[in-house]
């Protein structure tokens, strides 16, 4: 199916951050009320056509800061060789011990990222691995009852939600910090994003979530915005969906593309779908009603 164009009409909302004076949120209601969901293992084509089983875990994940590294390091220390296909082992003198960053990270242009092994992220279990295909960190989190966003690199659990910051200066020289929560489309990766063979957020094949993004990705959004910010977001998303429902019932269908993400319109899943997406054997099942936290890694630069 063709991807939605990058420059689509979007509905935005702005509101003060109830937990941080001097900060405001700017949120993309078009994407956050869409029916996008991660379809890794259930139709994902992968960002590169010759590696469809990788999803977007081909290039390895760049870490945002030291806290990001240390959070993942703690999970890595818990992973057993039976759940991590590319576990580095411990070596004769412990020189490959996963507690050592050199065992599972590398530097690229001075930035630390997860290693690439046999063409994909070191944490990606390949099809046929007994524990199942997919991110070993994600699977470990599900098995231990840990939220996946607390176990994976920031870039992996945030995509395709994008948080950006901008200082806005008013005419009276006062200012505030604007925090945007929006869709991480191809352009988020820079010029290299246009070289990806397939990208989920703009493709109707991935707009099959049982719930809109703001509900299915609630845990991730709370982490990004705080509980108070998320509660304000949810009120506006529900109001937007109510407006879409009214527009549909009133027969004003030409207005729908102005209010709903084109990929969701193409998929025919406005407001979410009831059926669960069938997942490939060997991938981690999700709780009913969930959108799966993203598996992707850092994209092209």
β-partners of residue 135 are 124
Give residue 192's pLDDT band: very low, low, confident or very high (50, 70, 90): confident
| pLDDT over 50 at 287, yes or no | no
Query: Tens digit of pLDDT for each residue in 55-100?
Result: 999 999 999 999 999 999 999 999 999 999 999 886 555 556 777 8
Task: Quickly tell me which residue has 């164009």 as its tokens.
Answer: 5
Q: Rounded CA gap, 39 and 291, in Å?
A: 9
DSSP letter assigned to residue 281: T
Confidence of residue 274 (pLDDT cuts 50, 70, 90): low
Distance in angstroms (rounded) separating the CA atoms of residues 20 and 229: 9
5/15: higher pLDDT: 15
Q: Is the dihedral of CA 42, 33, 291, 84 positive or negative?
A: positive
Which residues touch 301 (CB under 8 Å, ≥6 apart)? 109, 189, 190, 192
pLDDT at 257: 78
Residue in 163, 151, 172 with CA at minimum distance from that of residue 72: 151
> What is the tens place of the pLDDT at every residue in 19-36?
999 999 999 999 999 999
More confident residue, 234 or 278: 234
User: How many whole angstroms separate alpha carbon 50 and alpha carbon 42?
Assistant: 17
Residue 120 — left, alpha, or beta (φ > 0 → left; ψ -120 to 50 → alpha)? beta
Q: Percent of the chain, pLDDT > 70?
A: 88
* Length of the chain (residues): 301
Q: Is 7 helix (H, G, I), strand (E, B) or coil?
A: coil
What is the maximal distance between C-alpha atoms in the chain?
72
The upper half-sphere exposure of residue 105, i.e. CA atoms within 13 Å in the direction of its Cβ, equals 21
Measure the CA–CA gap between 226 and 250, rounded to whole angstroms: 36
Give me the sign of the Cα torsion angle 266, 133, 68, 218. Answer: positive
Q: What is the dihedral of CA 281, 270, 180, 13, to 10 degrees?
A: -160
Mean pLDDT of 104-111: 94
- Asked, as a colleague might, if the bond just before 160 is cis with ω within 30 of 0, I would say yes
Question: How many CB atoms neighbour CB 127 within 10 A?
Answer: 13
Beta bridge partners of 179: 25, 165
Statement: residue 247 has pLDDT above 50: yes
Give Cβ neighbours of residue 187 (< 8 Å, ≥ 6 apart).
6, 193, 194
Mean pLDDT, residues 203-216? 96
């Amino acid at each position: 199916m063709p991807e939605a164009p990058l420059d689509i009409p979007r509905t935005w909302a702005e509101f003060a951050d109830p937990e941080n004076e001097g900060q405001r949120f700017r949120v993309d209601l078009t994407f956050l009320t869409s029916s996008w969901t991660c379809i890794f293992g259930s139709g994902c084509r992968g960002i590169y056509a010759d590696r469809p089983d990788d999803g977007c875990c081909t290039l390895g994940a760049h870490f945002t800061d030291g806290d990001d590294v240390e959070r993942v390091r703690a999970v890595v220390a818990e992973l057993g060789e039976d759940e991590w296909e590319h576990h580095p082992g411990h070596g004769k003198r412990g020189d490959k011990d996963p507690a050592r960053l050199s065992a599972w990270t590398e530097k690229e242009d001075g930035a630390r990222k997860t290693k690439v092994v046999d063409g994909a992220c070191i944490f990606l279990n390949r099809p046929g691995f007994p524990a199942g295909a997919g991110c070993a960190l994600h699977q470990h989190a599900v098995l231990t009852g840990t939220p996946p966003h607390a176990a994976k690199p920031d870039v992996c659990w945030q995509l395709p939600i994008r948080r950006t910051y901008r200082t806005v200066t008013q005419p009276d020289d006062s200012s505030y910090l604007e925090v945007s929560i929006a869709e991480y489309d191809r352009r988020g990766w820079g010029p290299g994003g246009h070289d990806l063979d397939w990208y989920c957020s703009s493709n109707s094949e991935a707009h099959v979530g049982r719930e809109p993004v703001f509900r299915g990705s609630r845990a991730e959004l709370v982490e990004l915005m705080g509980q108070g910010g998320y509660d304000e977001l949810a009120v506006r998303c529900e109001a937007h969906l109510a407006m879409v429902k009214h527009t549909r019932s009133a027969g004003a269908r030409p207005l729908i593309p102005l209010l709903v993400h084109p990929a969701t319109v193409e998929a025919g899943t406005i407001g979410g779908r009831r059926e669960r997406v069938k997942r490939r054997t060997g991938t981690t099942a999700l709780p009913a009603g969930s959108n799966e936290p993203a598996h992707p890694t850092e994209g092209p630069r």
